[in-house]
Structure 1
Amino acid sequence: MAVKKAQMMPTFAYEGVDRKGAKIKGELPARNMALAKVTLRKQGITIKTIREKRKNILEGLMKKKVTTLDITIFTRQLATMMKAGVPLVQGFEIVAEGLENPAMREVVLGIKGEVEGGNTFAGALRKYPLYFDNLFCSLVESGEQSGALETMLDRVAIYKEKSELLKQKIKKAMKYPIAVICVAVIVTIILMVKVVPVFESVFSSFGADLPAFTKLVVNMSTWMQQYWFILIIVIGAIIACFLEAKKRSKKFRDGLDHLALKLPIFGDLIYKAIIARYSRTLATTFAAGVPLIDALESTAGATNNVIYENAVMKIREDVATGQQLQFAMRVSNRFPSMAIQMVAIGEESGALDSMLDKVATHFENEVDNAVDGLTSMMEPLIMAVLGVLVGGLVIAMYLPIFQMGSVV
């Protein structure tokens, strides 16, 4: 139900006069007209006109979505404001004014309205579960209860920044080969549809039998020219089925998570990223004063992999029965010995959050190095594949000419 509220919150367009008598107009997201009026009056605005802004269908389709980067920027800016002594509500106003994404600005103003209406900051965040997960809300709630919200926000901002950086590194590793493969497919299609037919018309004038390889390429070219629309439909259907299965089937998503860890080159990179996320999340939550059992529950979802999500939840159960974290991690058989040893030192010395932070930093550096190494390795490999692909087509086209030359 909370998700629906966050998505359906209307926006009200208003005109009025501020405390200094200056005319002012703007937009304000609120749950209803009455709450919008209360919020504006608290800001010292005398309302002249106010109406609910009707949503345009085209505008809704083109509306920019709130991204994790938007959330990260919002957290860092708000943390900076609070550390500078700016009151929370005023901080919302300042941050909202500087946001480029209208959707994120609407979310921030909605949170501001909730806080002004008497809700806690954490309670206001929970109204937007699509953008602020339980981990984020729990950390803010811990900061509010301890009276150290600015410190906690700074800690959350650091966590979000490191998480975003890690995600960007993984994307960087994936983007290059995908982009080159797409280019290779496009080049191949152009050659098959535009270039091969020209050679085919030349070959037909020879009146001689074509080599088997050339025949294969010519037949493929002919098929693509005649049935290209079927090819597009099939590719589109495969992509649509994949996305739909991923969206609807938990079993399918779980299978993808299993497969991701077994990929020849990317599997190790994904594994290191998971360990880094696990360590960083657990370090942040535990340092914030969240009990270890609750921290493990929040950490499970942050791994973004069902295998490790289940493993962490099993670790949580073991810890709840009195077992040490290091032993529970060892029994799971999902964590590197280095991480387990660091956790053991942290538990024995009473500095678990510090040791987990070191583990996270280590594996984040490992991911960074792996991405650089992967990029360096993929470049010659992909160029070789492109060379074989394009070179094969060129050879197929020139084989008949070579054959005629040998006969002469």
Structure 2
Amino acid sequence: MRRFRYRGRNKRGESVSGLQEATSPDSLASHLLNTGIVPITIDEEFSQSRRGGLEQLLRRDRVTDEEILLFTRQMYSMLKAGIPIMRALAGLQQSGGNGRLATVIQSLRDNLEAGRELSQAMRLQPDVFSTLFVSLVQVGELTGRLDEVFLRLFHYMEFEHRTRRQISAALRYPSFVLVGVLIAIATVNVFVIPAFARVYKGFHTELPLLTRVLIGVSEFSVSHGPLLVAALATLIVGVGLYLRSAPGRYRWHRLKLRLPIVGDMVLKASLARFARGLSITLQSGVPVLQGMSVVGQIVDNDYIAQRVEQMRLGIERAESVLQTAATAGVFTPAVLQMIAVGEETGDLDGLMAEVADLYEREVDYGVETLGARIEPLLIMVLSLVVLVLALGVFLPIWDLGRVAMGKGG
């Protein structure tokens, strides 16, 4: 038996988590579903006593976002062409090159042969198929429009993948620059400043304040280097563990929305996911209340997810979507007006799609201009670092030169 840590939601939509022994993730997922818990994540706990456990973890294949995107598009094409699900999955399994994806598809086929629905089979793979994915597939099965559901999922996932790729590309250059600056500062602090400090001792004169500060920092770094490295590593690990906890993750997600330059873009990206997800669920025939439960899990921000949960509870109390959205306090007046029009006309799904388009365009523009907005700040930081180092290192030399020129005169 292996030990797994799971996180999911019960029938009331409440978040639950725990530690459970099972023979495999699939068997645990089946057990959780039988007890009324929909699993979201199932992660195996690797103990130090397990021989080769670390090697197995490192070698474990993962299904990438690109592969799921391609799988979704191919499923739409095959189902649109009238190919039965079993034949479509068999063809995808033969053409897929990733061992993990082939294993997942084989699991889907086995569960279908055992009499389960496709959505039930996908729910047994929570690390591969999201809650939104499974819920919409289930709706597609009930309505007979499974091909349309896969197409909508493809467009949604394509936007998510494109946005992440653009953000990664925009942050690549600033990241390289910052790493280079940190390496340069460490090199100057450990090797350059101590050499100048030995020269300055021969001056037998009081050094400028900035120079004394730099020399003091350099001497402290050199003499306590291992301690500083250990403290930094401890801080990084501590912050990482805190951010993985529910309170830490919530506070960090709330703080991200207030960060300069990127905070507004993070908010719009989360709201775009909310609006697009709600639009897709409503267009697929999912009731608003159930759609809110699904969408709250895909906004990728715990702070926004809590606001969506508040909206769901308000709708349960017979409040309108407009009232709950206004109470949430995260939507702009223009978006609230579109929600109001959507409720009045009965076209909430269409209006939410327009809201998603609006936010997605703004996110695209924000990502495209992210590098241009970060560059001036980066230049200011680099200029300040160079100025401090230059003044601290060369001010004593300039002072000595002025003194020498005065004596020579």
The answer as to whether partners of 1:6 and 1:128 remain within 8 angstroms in 2 is no
Q: d(CA) in 2 for partners of 1:178 and 1:293?
A: 42
Whole-angstrom CA distance in 2 between matches of 1:194 and 1:108: 57
Q: Is the 8 A contact 2:210 2:391 kept in 1?
A: no
Give the percent of matched residue pairs that are identical in Structure 1 and Structure 2. 28
1:184 equivalenced with 2:181 (yes/no): yes
Give the Cα–Cα distance (whole angstroms) in 1 for the partners of residues 95 and 375 of structure 2.
40
Amino acid aligned to 1:406: R
Are positions 1:140 and 2:137 aligned together?
A: yes
Does 1:326 find its partner at 2:322?
A: yes
- Return the offset for 1:155: 1.5
CA displacement at 1:173 relative to structure 2: 5.4
Code of the aligned partner of 1:61? L
Q: How far, CA to CA, are the matches of 2:284 and 2:149 in structure 1?
A: 7
| Unaligned segments of structure 1, at least 5 residues | 11-30, 32-53
Trace 1:6-405 onto structure 2 (pairs within 5 A): 8=25, 58-172=55-169, 176-247=173-244, 249-405=245-401
The number of residue pairs the alignment matches comes to: 365
The alignment yields a C-alpha RMSD, in angstroms, of 2.7
CA distance in 1, matches of 2:100, 2:287: 34
TM-score (norm 1): 0.81
Task: Give the match's secondary structure for 1:222.
Answer: helix
The Cα offsets for residues 16-40 of structure 1, whole Å up to 9 and x where unpaired, read as xxxxxxxxxxxxxxx9xxxxxxxxx
Deviation at 1:5, TM superposition (A): 6.5
Q: Distance in 2 between matches of 1:243 and 1:346?
A: 42
CA apart distance, 1:336: 1.0
User: Do the aligned partners of 2:314 and 2:324 also contact (CA within 8 Å) in 1?
Assistant: yes
CA–CA separation in structure 2 for the residues paired with 1:2 and 1:186: 39
Whole-Å separation in 2 of the counterparts to 1:6 and 1:79: 33
Q: What runs of 5+ residues in structure 2 fail to find an aligned partner?
A: 7-20, 31-50, 405-409
Task: Provide Cα deviations, 1:241-273, integer angstroms capped at 9, x if missing partner.
Answer: 1111122x3222221122122223222111111
Q: Which amino acid is 1:146 matched to? A: T
Alpha-carbon distance, 1:100 to partner: 4.5
Equivalent residues of 2:137, 2:150 under 8 A apart: yes
Residues in 2 aligned to 1:101 and 1:219: alpha-carbon distance in whole angstroms: 55
Structure-1 residue corresponding to 2:41: none
1:210 Cα deviation (Å)? 2.6
* Equivalent residue letter for 1:329: A
Q: Cα offset for 1:174?
A: 5.1
Measured after TM superposition, the shift of residue 165 of structure 1 is 2.6
Alpha-carbon distance, 1:278 to partner: 0.9
TM-aligned CA deviation for residue 344 of structure 1: 2.0
| 8 Å contact kept, 1:5–1:127 | no
Offset of residue 329 of structure 1: 1.4
Task: For residue 178 of structure 1, report the CA deviation from its aligned partner.
Answer: 4.2
